Amino acid sequence: MSSNSALEQMIGKVLDQKEAELISQIDSAYQESLDNLESSRGKLEAERTRIIEAAKKQAENLKRQIIGSARLGARNQELLTIENAVNKAFEEAKKKLQALGSPDRYKQLLKQMIEESMSAVGESNAVIIECNKNDVELVRNMVSELQTSGKLQQQATVSDQHIDVLGGIRIKSADGTMSYDNTLDSRIERLKPLIRKNIVQMLRGVE
Residues of the chain scoring pLDDT < 50? 207
Residue 205 in domain: no
Q: What's the pLDDT score for residue 4?
A: 61
Q: What is the pLDDT of residue 163?
A: 92
Which H or E element spans position 20? helix 3-98
Q: What's the total number of domains in the chain?
A: 2
Domain finish residue from 99, 114, 131: 99
Burial class (CB in 10 A: 0-12, 13-18, 19+), 113: buried
Within this chain, do residues 23 and 91 fall inside the same structural domain, yes or no?
yes
How many residues appear in the chain? 207
Q: What is the pLDDT of residue 106?
A: 81
**Do 6 and 45 belong together in one domain?**
yes
Residues 69 and 108 in one domain: no
Domain assignment present for residue 207? The answer is no
Task: Note the pLDDT of residue 129.
Answer: 92
Q: What is the pLDDT of residue 137?
A: 92
pLDDT tens digit sequence for 77-115: 777 877 787 777 777 776 776 665 557 778 888 888 888
Is there a single domain that holds both residue 114 and residue 178?
A: yes
Q: Is there a single domain that holds both residue 170 and residue 124? A: yes
CB atoms within 10 A of CB 114: 24
Domain boundary among 99, 120, 152: 99
Q: Which of 38, 19, 39 has its CA nearest to residue 27?
A: 19
Q: Is the domain of 113 the same as that of 139?
A: yes
Q: Has residue 44 been placed in a domain?
A: yes
The model's pTM: 0.53
Calculate the dihedral angle through the C-alpha atoms of 21, 27, 31, 37, rounding to the nearest 10 degrees: 110
Residue that finishes a domain, picked among 55, 82, 99:
99
Q: Residue 156: what are its φ and ψ, rounded to 5°?
A: -120, 135
pLDDT at 39: 66
Q: Say what the pLDDT of residue 141 is.
A: 92
Phi, psi (5° rounding) for residue 180? -150, 120
Looking at the structure, tell me whether residues 59 and 129 fall in a common domain: no
In a domain, 203, yes or no: no
Residues 62, 9 share a domain: yes
Do 80 and 8 belong together in one domain? yes
What residues have CB less than 8 Å from 100, skipping those under 6 apart?
106
Nearest Cα neighbor of 131 from 105, 157, 151, 150 is 157
Q: Is the dihedral of CA 103, 166, 186, 197 positive or negative?
A: positive
Tell me the residue range of the domain where 8 lies: 1-99
